[in-house]
Amino acid sequence: MRPWGLWYGLFGLRSNELVMVTSWPQDAATVSVLTDALPAGAEVLELYEFVPTVRPVTDDPCTRAGLYVFRFFDVRNEDVEEIAQLSATAWETFEAASTYQSVPQALFCQRDRSSEQGVMLLLTWYDGLNSWQASRQPAPEAAQNFRRRAQLTLGTVAYATRLVGQ
């Protein structure tokens, strides 16, 4: 197991909850190893086995200070590739904006996509809440792809977080 990041909630998470993302070899037994390593009194509330789509390309840990927004998408598994491509293309102008600072860190899909519906996770870094707010009005090229992605999405929930220790 390699830690990728540990975040505490600003909005959307309880004050005693953390989000932990780790990187594992393809054949690792994540659930038993993870639950055995927790401190006394801690428990796993939700566990997903994700694989990267277009990002990240390495499992180097997140270290940048700022706001990290976790957005979980309920999707049809048959739409995962299109959602990933729409996102990657939109990021070309989304990241280059001069009115805010933002870098999508990851877009994951579930390892097992054998069921009709699944979950994807988008993790985006912003330098702060003002950039997050300004990014709601991206360049027209990005906005078009984000609208199409929204059409393919069955529902979303987002959590605003910061890295532990930042």
Every domain of the chain and the residues it spans: 2-163
For residue 43, what are its two tokens? 């428990």
What's residue 33's pLDDT? 66
What's residue 164's pLDDT? 96
Give the span between the Cα atoms of 80 and 102, in whole angstroms.
Answer: 23
Coil, helix or strand for 145?
A: helix
DSSP string over 60-120: PPP---SEEEEEEEEEEGGGHHHHHHHHHHHHHHHTT-SS--EEEEEEEEES---SSEEEE
Token look-up 């994700």 returns: 50
What's residue 76's pLDDT? 98
Q: CATH number for the 2-163 domain, one of 3.90.550.10, 3.30.70.100, 3.10.20.30, 3.30.530.20? A: 3.30.70.100
Query: Residue 64: what are its φ and ψ, rounded to 5°?
Result: -75, 130
pLDDT digit string (tens) for 119-150?
A: 999 999 999 999 999 999 999 999 999 999 99
